[in-house]
Amino acid sequence: MAFKKMTLASMLPSCFMSKNPSSEPKKRATKQISPQTLSFSDLSDTSLPLSVDDLSGSLMSNLHVFTLAELKAITQNFSSRNYLGEGGFGPVHKGFIDDKLRLGLEAQPVAVKVLDLDGSQGHREWLAEVKFLGKVRHPHLVKLIGYCCEDEHRLLVYEYMSRGNLECHLFKRYIASLPWLTRIKIALGAAKGLAFLHEEEKPVIYRDFKASNVLLDTDYNAKLSDFGLARAGPQGDDTHVTTRVMGTQGYAAPEYITTGHLTTMSDVYSFGVVLLELLTGRRSMDKGRSNREQYLVTWAKPLLKNRPKLDRIMDPRLEGQYSTEGAKKAATLAYQCLSDNPKRQTNNE
């Protein structure tokens, strides 16, 4: 825990320093936490009830239960014009809730995620998401507004994040490049979201931290999304939990892939990969590059501690407009997150 707290919560703010020597780093905002206790212990049980009736009354008070007809109406029958994208869960459509839809629900744009019955995720992941995000509110976790469970249909309704996801901003050439300070702001927000999950009395391991799961609001505030693969961390004297290897290739920690042993440090490794993507503007995996450069970590990690060569890996779309000292600090943090020995990381701090 000490490593994560020192690096993700303390080292990143110093990267806000600009080239102007009179500039001062922004102060880190005080973390806001949910008054409720997080718990994913029920998700580690393979006998998890598959009925929505398992959702508790206290959880239901935070969420709205929508009908399928209501969600069809607000998305114009899931029109292609409202299509936002698709992930492992299924397609996502934009919708708009007006103040007449139901009492107590304010008018607002929303994102409606529809479970693809033939996709890689299913009811268990849908239920995990409902149970988790129904219990917690945090500035750097996407807000779940409600859900729908009718017959075989499983849908989730979230706050609408107008800037989309980080992956698009980094890798879609028709979108303007993110400025340096915006990249650091996004990294800091994502780090706060992970720290919140890890530092609870019962830690939660996100298990699928990647650029496409970091959503951005109008002001480029980062919020983590898609908690279907999250699970309870080790309890008591346990050092890890053993699970079936899940997640996304290129982001998953090597020790987790080889052993199935999952810890909060698995998320820290994934954070290091995304931080590398922010620094370099390159994907974690890119089969279109030469063999030596296809895997971002393999290519970039040796250069992270070589200060004279650091400029060679920085995203050319930044056009040199970044804090040299901030880039060095971010590179050092990425290197620590990507350590081959996560136990040594913790002990060093």
- Looking at the fold, whether 234 and 343 belong to one and the same domain comes out as yes
Q: d(Cα 131, Cα 54) in Å, to the nearest integer?
A: 9
Segment 307-318, tens digit of pLDDT = 788 999 999 999
Q: d(Cα 78, Cα 93) in Å, to the nearest integer?
A: 6
- Looking at the fold, whether 285 and 139 belong to one and the same domain comes out as no
Q: Are 129 and 148 in contact (CB under 8 A)?
A: no
More confident residue, 58 or 21: 58
Residues with catalytic function: 208
From the list 171, 217, 225, the residue with the least C-alpha distance to 194 is: 225
Q: What is the pTM assigned to this prediction?
A: 0.82
Residue 1: the pLDDT is 35
Domain containing residue 93: CATH number: 3.30.200.20
Residue 236: the pLDDT is 65
- Looking at the fold, whether 318 and 296 belong to one and the same domain comes out as yes
Output the average pLDDT for the chain: 80
**Mean pLDDT value of segment 4-33:** 40
Residue 137: the pLDDT is 87
- Looking at the fold, whether 10 and 114 belong to one and the same domain comes out as no
Residue 334: the pLDDT is 95
Q: Are 45 and 126 in contact (CB under 8 A)?
A: no
Residue 61 confidence (pLDDT) above 70 = no
- Domain end, chosen from 126, 141, 159, is at 159
- Say how many domains are in the chain: 2
Total count of residues recorded for the chain: 349
- Domain end, chosen from 122, 141, 159, is at 159
Segment 81-134, tens digit of pLDDT = 999 988 778 899 999 999 888 777 889 999 999 988 775 567 878 888 888 888
**Mean pLDDT value of segment 43-62:** 50
Which residue range forms the structural domain that includes residue 143? 46-159
- Looking at the fold, whether 285 and 168 belong to one and the same domain comes out as yes
- Looking at the fold, whether 144 and 167 belong to one and the same domain comes out as no
Half-sphere CA count of 85, side-chain side, radius 13 A: 13
Which tokens in the block code for residue 128? 């995990």
Residue 47: the pLDDT is 35
Residue 161 confidence (pLDDT) above 90 = yes
- Looking at the fold, whether 152 and 62 belong to one and the same domain comes out as yes
